[in-house]
Structure 1
Amino acid sequence: MNFKSIIDQQILLDKAIKEAHKINQDYSNQMIIALYTEVGEFANEIQSFKYWKKSKNIDQNNLLEEFADGLHFLISFAIKTNCNYIIEPLVLSNDINYQLLEMFKSIYKLSKKISRRNVTKCIAIYIGIAKILNIEDDLIIESYMLKNKKNFERIKNNY
């Protein structure tokens, strides 16, 4: 998947956030916690791990928004580590729960060492989840752009 347009927008958003909140120090630990949280919220929308629940009504719009939230943090790390614009999805298993567990493991590895390799693997696994769910690249980009616009509005409104 080509992330060029997303990276260009994320650079602007990261700058706006730093300026709005007067951030001068490294906030990688907060970003890792945020990434865990957003991937968890995305998993909650998928509901695949909820073996106890019979009715799993998935709201596609919420699912895409939560996916975009996780992508925002991943792309910030990609910018920080100079990742390539093109990253191929990595599907380790068609079992969505296994893929989600691998995502959480990859975030843990990223928390231990923020490197281009670890960021690329995180993104690859994350978009692998999208592939398992049959979410096309153009829908990923569209969802990201919608959420990015919302994030800029939040900054404007002192969120």
Structure 2
Amino acid sequence: MTLKLEQMYEMQKALDAKIIKEKGLEGQNLLPNTILALQVEIAELANEWRGFKHWSNDREPRTAIPSLVKTSGIDIALEDGTYLQNPLLEEYVDCLHFFLSIARQLEYSADDLCVFEDYVEGETGLLFTELLINVGYLLGDKLQIRESEKDFKAWQKQHFRGAIYIFYALGEQRLGFDFEDIAAAYAAKNEVNHERQANGY
């Protein structure tokens, strides 16, 4: 059974609550760190996509890397005892974890994570750049950008929805992931993240 986006949102809330409690982070503004973490993960996703590396002969996305050991929850076990890793999908779901965490911190509902999907125009590399810009705007400088808190929150939500729209389009239209792939990989990585916390990560 495929997870729904609402279920992933609730799973992320539980993971975030566990981390906040175990790390003693109650009452702290974690949004700047989470936004930076998402930007780092987007850059790592672009690195695994590799399409922007015009200087390299190796520009194929990293979607099937053989490994002797299992390194993540989404690795596929092969008959010979080795594993097949998909770093591109793993980085994508790492991004999804942080998108869900940001939505929680901004007190958005699961419905705010749903956007109308249409084909996105433009080169894939430019979409990555636009995604990074929209995520960066989530912090903004509300004193200079908007006159009131209400205006700032509307402006912030507009950029969040723009970012998540591009993110979904990248995954499905450019990187070849369907929702079932994403949901299964999210669940597996979420489990790994809980295990990491239990083991003092």
Instruction: Give the TM-score, by structure 2 length.
Output: 0.73
Residue of structure 1 equivalent to 2:185: 143
Shift of 1:134: 2.0
SS at match of 1:135: coil
CA contact (8 A) 2:49 2:60 kept: no
Of Structure 1 and Structure 2, which has the larger fraction of its residues in helix? 1
SS at match of 1:22: coil
Long gaps (5+) in structure 2: 64-85, 141-151
Q: Residues 38, 90 of structure 1: CA spacing in aligned structure 2 closer, same or farther, 3 A cutoff?
A: farther
Give, in whole Å, the separation in 2 of the partners of 1:69 and 1:4: 17
Shift of 1:56: 2.9
Which string of whole-angstrom CA distances, capped at 9 and with x for unpartnered residues, describes residues 56-83 of structure 1? 3433211111011111111111223314
SS at match of 2:43: helix
Which string of whole-angstrom CA distances, capped at 9 and with x for unpartnered residues, describes residues 94-152 of structure 1? 51111111101111211216633322221111111112222101111111111111100
Q: Residues 103, 91 of structure 1: CA spacing in aligned structure 2 closer, same or farther, 3 A cutoff?
A: farther
Which AA in structure 1 matches 2:53? K
Matched, 1:27 2:27: no
Between 16-25 and 54-63, the greater mean CA deviation after superposition:
54-63
Which AA in structure 1 matches 2:36? I
Give, in whole Å, the separation in 2 of the partners of 1:31 and 1:91: 28
Matched, 1:153 2:156: no
Between 112-121 and 5-14, the greater mean CA deviation after superposition:
112-121
Between 83-92 and 48-57, the greater mean CA deviation after superposition:
83-92
Between 105-114 and 5-14, the greater mean CA deviation after superposition:
105-114
Instruction: Give the TM-score, by structure 1 length.
Output: 0.90
Q: Residues 104, 147 of structure 1: CA spacing in aligned structure 2 closer, same or farther, 3 A cutoff?
A: same
Alignment counterpart, residue 42 of structure 1, candidates 42, 45, 64: 45
Alignment counterpart, residue 176 of structure 2, candidates 127, 134, 147: 134
Residue of structure 1 equivalent to 2:54: 51
Shift of 1:40: 0.3
SS at match of 2:138: helix
Which string of whole-angstrom CA distances, capped at 9 and with x for unpartnered residues, describes residues 37-70 of structure 1? 0000000000011001112343321111101111
Matched, 1:8 2:50: no
SS at match of 1:51: coil
Give, in whole Å, the separation in 1 of the partners of 2:120 and 2:87: 25
Percent identity, aligned pairs only, is 26
Shift of 1:158: 0.6
Shift of 1:90: 5.8
Give, in whole Å, the separation in 2 of the partners of 1:148 and 1:63: 16
Alignment size in residue pairs: 158
CA contact (8 A) 1:78 1:120 kept: no
Larger Rg: 2
Alignment counterpart, residue 70 of structure 1, candidates 95, 113, 130: 95
Give, in whole Å, the separation in 2 of the partners of 1:69 and 1:148: 9
The 4+ residue runs of structure 1 with deviation greater than 4 A are: none
Long gaps (5+) in structure 1: none
